[in-house]
Amino acid sequence: MTQVRFALAQMDTCVGDLDGNADRVLDFARRAAAGGAQVVAFPEMTLTGYPIEDLALRATFRRAAWQTASELATRLAGDGLADLFVVVGTIGTDHETGKPRNRMIVLHDGVVWAGYDKHFLPNYGVFDEFRIFSAGDKSVVLEMAGIRVGVAICEDIWQDGGPVADLAAKDIDVLLTINGSPYEEGKTHVRRDLAGRRAAEVGAPLVYVNQVGGQDDLVFDGGSFVVDADGTLLERSPMFMEDLSFFDYDSDLPKQVPGTIAADPDPDEEVYTACVLGLKDYMAKNGFTKGVCLGLSGGIDSALVAAMAADALGGGDRVYGISMPSMYSSDGSKDDAADLARNLGAHYDVQPIEPLFVAFQKQLDLDGVAAENLQARIRGVIVMAYSNSKGLLALATGNKSELACGYSTIYGDAVGGYAPIKDLLKTRVWQLARWRNRAAADGVGIGGLKIVGNEGGWKGQPVDGDVIPVNSIVKPPSAELRPGQKDSDSLPEYDLLDQVLEAYIEHAHGRADLLADGFDPDTVDTVMRLVDRAEWKRRQYPLGPKVTALAFGRDRRLPITSMFRE
């Protein structure tokens, strides 16, 4: 009889932080050993962080990563952890071609004891691995703690054939995969079903360790798990937080015994938490310690972003909300912005833009869209002034519907270093705002999410009612850049617009497909014209988290200059 305890070290790595990542691995390894583990596995490219893009091509970086791995093996042994098998990801070099490789290494006995190079290099959506790595071509079975462990890295289990097909013939006891699989709505079940099929293919339990945390515009959701050869879920780690969980393999049992299984979250909570974690990690990893600033218009977009920021920062005291009313701002909007800030305990300044608008108009005498954009750009200047003078990260509050349709002002409301809701359609923004108001302030959500407001409120005053003012949710959306303006003057109603955008952008439906989907020709042509018009501005939008299959930004790589109309 052989029993082996695996530790699933779901760690939040940072790209390029070789020393920091190695220190964290050591810490997790100590805790894994203390918990009785013989094998501890970390996410893909643990030491280097993931994805490293063209940093892989810099020789200095590859040498430093190799140095880090060797030193870590020595440090583990020095800490009395020589017997532990520490499975980490890093960058390697293909000695024939000199090209980088996406590598798994095992640190054991004070040395880099074994290695495996990823076979399948994804080259679609957000992935660019074929560009920077050369592919491994060997399948590897490791004898660890008396059992036979086959190994794979992320995409290796998503493609048929390759290392998993090889391992099926090699009588392995466990299939261990290390992953950097970014979050995407609905992907949890896809991943688990896939893993179940691979476990059946090799006839052994599959241990799936995933990365967690935000990295630029990706969010990794963790949710590591173990699935048995018959598809039974044996273990599941929580989503959106670091975690160390264990799985006990027993060679005598035909079926393994299930352990702790984290529940599947509510879909709104899941997306909300992904956005909060993306923002939180972007701030932490880029050294924005002083907080964020953003314009508060009284509308739903800025309200939701402010709530996310307060939750990311553990309170409103590092959130600087700026109300920038114009001659066209309604009193209701100003009140809603003030109420929201108070409910979140955020800083709240009022900076009227009328005197500035008048000063510009004295020189420029603009009208129409140019005058509307001027208002938005004066606000952009003010937000950036707060950012520069107080060292704050400016947040852009645009949602995916308006960004897709170009219904925003470049260098105006689109300024900011991070755009937390840039991948949420407007109808989803409303849903999340309602969810956020329902969420209890005293409970702790998935990913350790703590909801700010509701209970404590500003300066300890209890909030009477909803944190996000109901008026911000129910009123007709307006940019308030001219008297009586409504979004619906320029755009189809959001319920309809979002359906068309979903089909056109996410599912790549062309005009004929959209008509076949049942949308009327006028709406289709309006939306396609809006999106076309907005497309050329695309590359100048700020960074934000990716939540759906095909977000704007680098994974929608359309040419700027294109005459094609589908």
Instruction: Select from 71, 79, 83, 131 the one that contacts its own copies (CB under 8 A).
Output: 131
Report the site for its own copies in 529-548 (rule: CB under 8 A).
536, 539-543
In the complex, what is the shortest distance from the CB of residue 358 to its own copies, in angstroms, rounded to a whole number? Answer: 8
Give the separation between CA 393 and CA 162, rounded to whole angstroms: 44
Strand partners, 292: 319, 393
Instruction: Select from 52, 149, 219, 346 the one that contacts its own copies (CB under 8 A).
Output: 52
Size of the site for its own copies (CB under 8 A): 79
Q: In terms of Cα–Cα distance, which of 215, 128, 217 is closest to 547?
A: 217
Are 202 and 168 spatial neighbours (Cβ–Cβ below 8 Å)? yes
Report the site for its own copies in 406-435 (rule: CB under 8 A).
410-411, 415, 417
Instruction: Select from 34, 190, 253, 359 the one that contacts its own copies (CB under 8 A).
Output: 359
Task: Give the contacts of 269 (CB within 8 A, at least 6 positions apart).
Answer: 435, 439, 445, 446, 449
Q: In terms of Cα–Cα distance, which of 112, 107, 100, 108 is closest to 50?
A: 100
Report the site for its own copies in 442-501 (rule: CB under 8 A).
none
Q: Looking at the annotation, which residues are catalytic?
A: 44, 118, 154
- Written as six digits, the tokens of 55 are 């940093």
- Nearer Cβ to its own copies, position 91 or 446? 91
Give the separation between CA 485 and CA 376, rounded to whole angstroms: 14
Strand partners, 144: 147
- Nearer Cβ to its own copies, position 38 or 326? 326
x/- letters, 199..218, toward its own copies (CB under 8 A)? ----------------xx--
Report the site for its own copies in 236-255 (rule: CB under 8 A).
none
Is position 378 an interface residue for its own copies (rule: CB under 8 A)? Answer: yes
Q: In terms of Cα–Cα distance, which of 410, 399, 377 is closest to 534?
A: 410
Instruction: Select from 254, 355, 476, 484 the one that contacts its own copies (CB under 8 A).
Output: 355
Place of tokens 């009208």: 367
Instruction: Select from 327, 370, 444, 516 the one that contacts its own copies (CB under 8 A).
Output: 370
Tell me if residue 483 falls in helix, strand or coil: coil
Q: In terms of Cα–Cα distance, which of 471, 231, 441, 465 is closest to 335?
A: 471
In the complex, what is the shortest distance from the CB of residue 449 to its own copies, in angstroms, rounded to a whole number? Answer: 21
x/- letters, 280..319, toward its own copies (CB under 8 A)? --x--xx---------------------------------
Q: Please enumerate, by residue number, every residue annotated as part of a binding site for deamido-NAD(+).
A: 373, 402, 537
Strand partners, 5: 248
Is position 515 an interface residue for its own copies (rule: CB under 8 A)? Answer: no
x/- letters, 22..41, toward its own copies (CB under 8 A)? --------------------
Are 218 and 182 spatial neighbours (Cβ–Cβ below 8 Å)? yes
- Written as six digits, the tokens of 563 are 């005459």
